[in-house]
Structure 1
């Protein structure tokens, strides 16, 4: 069983309890305009281009067997629809301006990497967190990995958008010790405007998980122009309270992923938007507290 992983981050402390290893899966059904990991959206491996390292030698242009690379206005342009991910251009690039994002790994390879830090998990009550992208996009690979890690007695968490077929979600969700569940908008149309999908399936899976008594922590990325108003906060608080959750975590908007859009040759619509900090969201937080929720950053 093989899957496509774009990062395995050790010693994570923000993706669940204790010291953890976070495994980042490629592939996501959402297209959030603020996405901090735009390289995670496509399932396939991708080629990233760093113009600052480029020697403009056009070696990649001549190397690509599909003719997917061209030099235009002094910049390398990659046609990702034509590219078949052979990575010959990455191997040939003398300036290391081209890099590969995402690589094929077996379940055994991922488990071996995770098990290297078993001592840290045991000492800190940590474990492994699956993230992305959306790990459930690669459903069969994810399930095989989950079962392999469960056999090792590892605490498992998942950062999930919740947008997966409900029957599949019902099989997968109970296997996790913690579901870090993104809740972005209460209004379906506003949700679609910012993420390109509506939230009916997300809300259905979210409510089901809580009804089953699973350990679910809703987390809200607070994004200017999308869900940062007090009215948004009130609607989200009501939605989360009615679903039966007791806690909620706020994730203030940041700009950590901005440079990745440039490397992917993508436009980033929020590049002039200022980052948010907890002190900016005191009134926002209070809307959840007034609703009887334990709201924290």
Structure 2
């Protein structure tokens, strides 16, 4: 175990049930090259610890703490029984885990020593070298695809779609276990035409299964506590029932589709 390297972590969530199969511990890395305007974890975007208002303590607290692999493993190993009973494990999330490739790889290796199932939630935005090397370690990749058009992708995330698609192609060619998801954002990618274009993109890459993530407002208050402007302040949430026709587009295109 390499305890000389540390990484900035802003949360370690035990008993998670939404970040992969079974009961999991989700490790949230701080720092992301994307700047998604709807991000529900805005405190994850900066690579450095930063102050955020705590409405319970009525004071500012610091989000983000540098931790070693050993420190994180101490927390992970507390719930081994739950991983075994539920066929769960550990998920690395963010922020963007691919921005911490060396540390994250060490953490995944330690998990495998204990036969813990591992997953990584990622945008797949990185250099091909980092992506290709890193994806040798997780059992499951959970990749969010924000848009099918490069200019629109840049407009709302700040980065190009091209390296993401290149990395997705690699993952498919290498037959990695990948769950593809689409966050459905009002006014950005939520029309039936958008669904058709997403379907074309998925079929182009021989992707036959996708999960839809309806837009929510769970992170709305965080922008206020970080003293940041939130573009979707007055935007209504999307619910599963709102996406029935959207889902049907994928099904008509022979793509298995579920709504989270």
Question: What range describes the TM-score normalised by the shorter chain of this pair?
Answer: over 0.9
Partner of 1:250: 212
8 Å Cα contact 1:211/1:244 also seen in 2: no
Distance in 1 between residues matched to 2:200 and 2:173, nearest whole Å: 16
Partner of 1:45: 49
CA-CA distance at 1:256 after TM superposition: 0.4
8 Å Cα contact 2:36/2:156 also seen in 1: yes
Aligned mate of 1:4, from 8, 30, 35: 8
8 Å Cα contact 2:105/2:137 also seen in 1: no
CA-CA distance at 1:232 after TM superposition: 1.0
Distance in 2 between residues matched to 1:249 and 1:233, nearest whole Å: 12
Whether 1:236 aligns to 2:198 is yes
Moved over 3 A (4+): none
Partner of 1:203: 165
8 Å Cα contact 1:7/1:23 also seen in 2: yes
**Does the residue aligned with 1:123 lie in a helix, a strand or coil?**
helix
Query: Structure 1 length as normaliser, TM-score?
Result: 0.84
Distance in 1 between residues matched to 2:149 and 2:165, nearest whole Å: 11
**Matches of residues 1-297 of structure 1 in structure 2 within 5 Å?**
1-50=5-54, 96-297=58-259
Instruction: Report the number of matched residues.
Output: 255
Query: Structure 2 length as normaliser, TM-score?
Result: 0.95
8 Å Cα contact 1:25/1:133 also seen in 2: yes
After superposition, give the CA deviation of every residue in 1:119-170 in whole Å (9 maximum; x if it has no partner).
1001111000000010111122111111111222110000000001111100
CA-CA distance at 1:174 after TM superposition: 2.5
8 Å Cα contact 1:220/1:248 also seen in 2: yes
8 Å Cα contact 2:145/2:181 also seen in 1: yes
Unaligned runs of 5+ in 2: none
After superposition, give the CA deviation of every residue in 1:93-141 in whole Å (9 maximum; x if it has no partner).
xx64111101111000111111110110011110000000101111221
CA-CA distance at 1:197 after TM superposition: 1.1
Distance in 2 between residues matched to 1:245 and 1:149, nearest whole Å: 29
Q: Which protein is bigger by CA-based radius of gyration?
A: 1
8 Å Cα contact 2:216/2:237 also seen in 1: yes
> Which region of structure 1 is more displaced relative to structure 2, 241-250 or 26-35?
241-250
